[in-house]
Chain A
């Protein structure tokens, strides 16, 4: 049963939703714009609801609540009507594009900074989802909306989210499924993690990690071939050992162009996560928190070119690079070395760059030049910094305040109650 405009649908909480219009339809259901007590919301309606415990599962998800703000989560259910039902969720705000639009180059990230933010937020969403004991089950390119300017992420289609160990029966798309699921296995948090690696690769490199020459040569991608190329015989296009599925010039243009520019730490992570070993051993795949650390380390290498003011990546060991845009040689003279376990994180300082002290998506410091052209670090956090000078003086840098990027200064940053000790060095 489909719904009509102005139709009233009773909600489980006792009030009702009035249908305004249809917003779209997919394989499982139809999404309507509805009015609930004067507030506009989205209603996903199942004209032919999936069998089994689907309604009950949605009830439980409504009750337990979203793992984080990033989820467009079921907020209430309708009462069943002729066996049909639906759930309410908030509307997607303006300014967000489907992940698919990025793949179709209809939406483009405004900056690498926004791209890193999106990657971190996707990982964080799934970390929290798994932490709450759920698995997503059919992770694919249709599940995210991303703001291309800020990198903010919304995770949608949460109706198949199940408690880990339970099955929604939804199988997802072969191109995004873990090989063991393509082969007929059951999805779980380990297969979610595989899908996450595929999606992250596509976010950074804008091509599919298994679609190289070998897959390209297949004239007709039948269901059997999909099982082979995304399942039993999947080979990463940049696999360090198996070289026979490399990206094809003229076809996999984005991956060929972007692979050389990204930091090694990120490329190594993909080579490892998409290696034959991890394809075949689901439990060896890294957890989301590890991905967040890797992405944060790659983000540390992102600087702003002092000449053309565009983003580029820098060698964290010596601060030397050639701007990938204007080609000029850049030599970052100062580095912020933050104590970390193990060793330290070295962040090269160039005016225009932002510094993330902890591993979330909110920067704590911004590097800039003052009016005399001297490089300074501005405190854009809400906490005071304590700075010790080489001669032993102690200074405080208030929020919005600045300090010179001078060799030998020891800084104690405070972020979310934790102390981070750092020192400025010269290259």
Chain B
């Protein structure tokens, strides 16, 4: 072999950062937060596989938990294989407004978006089961002016009927991007489907035409939902307790 071929290096790949915004307020306590912990842990190897075999882009993961305050699981985005999910516990209020501000501060080249070979627009997955308890509107207004946020794939998973779907739709920009689940099994499946689909679509060079990546993710999740998630509303939600 010629050593020039031996010296071939990987093509420079852009990075697509996948953000988890996880509601860890008191109402999430118990099975809900347990299911979130388990699902995110389980989906990380799938993200790794999508990233490893994709010549268009690599995927990094970042996670922000919000309750009475906010905190990042790691202080920088990491490849899925290096992202060890630490189980989060639930307690306190639902400061989604503050979470928007915190996300806004990191959606910049001086924040989390400083990948050497540039980025694809991020995918942001918001999980919540309740109403924001702080000044959500001004937090969101600030975030909505952010160009990274504008072009991001934004999907929300509303857990149970107490989630404020209207606020979640304001966050994602469309009510179609809010997926409601009513039981633990459906929540686990939904996290997997949304994360895998967002990772696949977000980390690939886009298709031409007028369909945005967010729209593609919505359509694919809707299809998968028909296939997989039987989520008939039940008369009581005992299994949330």
Contacts and interface: CB of A to CB of B under 8 A. Distances in A.
A222 B121 contact: yes
B205 A176 contact: yes
A121 interface: no
A312 interface: yes
Contacts of B7: 257
Interface in A110-133: 110-112, 115
B83 to A, nearest CB: 20
Contacts of A171: 207-209
Interface string A22-63: 000001000000000000000000011000000000000000
Given A218-B118, A219-B109, A324 B4 contact: yes
B227 A216 contact: no
A92 interface: no
B109 A108 contact: no
Given A219-B118, A253-B9, A257-B7, A173 B2 contact: no
B2 A105 contact: no
Interface string A204-220: 00111001000011111
B145 interface: no
A206 B120 contact: no
A174 B206 contact: yes
B55 interface: yes
Nearest to A252: B12
A298 B121 CA distance: 40
Interface centre among A109, A110, A221, by most chain B C-beta atoms within 10 angstroms, is A221
A174 B207 contact: yes
A394 interface: no
Interface string B98-127: 000000000001000100111111000000
B209 A310 contact: no
A202 B120 CA distance: 21
A291 B148 CA distance: 41
A399 interface: no
A174 B113 CA distance: 22
Interface centre among B117, B118, B151, B205, by most chain A C-beta atoms within 10 angstroms, is B205
Interface stretch (A4-12, A72-80, A179-187, A349-357): A179-187
Contacts of B119: 219-221
A105 B55 contact: no
Contacts, number: 127
Interface in B32-46: none
Given A1-B227, A110-B1, A100 B206 contact: no
Contact of A184 (B56, B147, B205, B209): B209
Contacts of B232: none
B147 to A, nearest CB: 7
B151 A220 contact: yes
A141 B55 contact: yes
B7 to A, nearest CB: 7
Interface centre among A172, A173, A216, A222, by most chain B C-beta atoms within 10 angstroms, is A222
Given A220-B113, A221-B118, A105 B8 contact: yes
Contacts of A219: 109, 113, 118-119
Interface string B16-28: 0000000000000
Interface residues of B, number: 42
Interface string B202-240: 001111111011000000100100010000000000000
Contacts of B120: 220-222
A363 B4 CA distance: 24
Contact of A325 (B3, B118, B223): B3
Interface residues of A, number: 59
Contacts of B71: none
Contacts of B208: 171-172, 174, 177, 181-184, 227, 231
Contact of A257 (B4, B113, B209, B227): B4
B133 interface: no
Contacts of B205: 173-176, 226, 230
A206 B2 contact: no
B203 to A, nearest CB: 11
A172 B56 contact: no
A136 B72 CA distance: 46
Contacts of B68: none
Contacts of A108: 1, 5-6, 8
Given A105-B8, A175-B56, A257-B7, A310 B121 contact: no
A258 B5 CA distance: 9
Contacts of A325: 2-4
A217 B109 CA distance: 12
A206 B8 contact: yes
A333 interface: no
B207 A173 contact: yes
A243 interface: no
B138 interface: no
A254 B207 contact: no
Contacts of B174: none
28 contacts: A1-B227, A101-B53, A104-B11, A104-B52, A105-B11, A108-B5, A108-B8, A109-B5, A110-B1, A110-B5, A111-B2, A112-B2, A172-B207, A216-B117, A218-B118, A220-B119, A220-B120, A222-B120, A222-B121, A222-B151, A223-B121, A226-B206, A231-B208, A252-B12, A258-B4, A312-B2, A325-B2, A325-B4
| Across the A-B interface, the 3 shortest Cβ-Cβ residue pairs | A175-B205, A103-B55, A173-B205
Given A173-B56, A220-B119, A310-B2, 20 more contacts: A103-B55, A105-B8, A105-B9, A105-B10, A111-B2, A141-B55, A171-B209, A174-B206, A175-B56, A208-B11, A216-B12, A220-B147, A220-B148, A221-B121, A223-B213, A230-B205, A254-B8, A254-B11, A261-B4, A312-B2
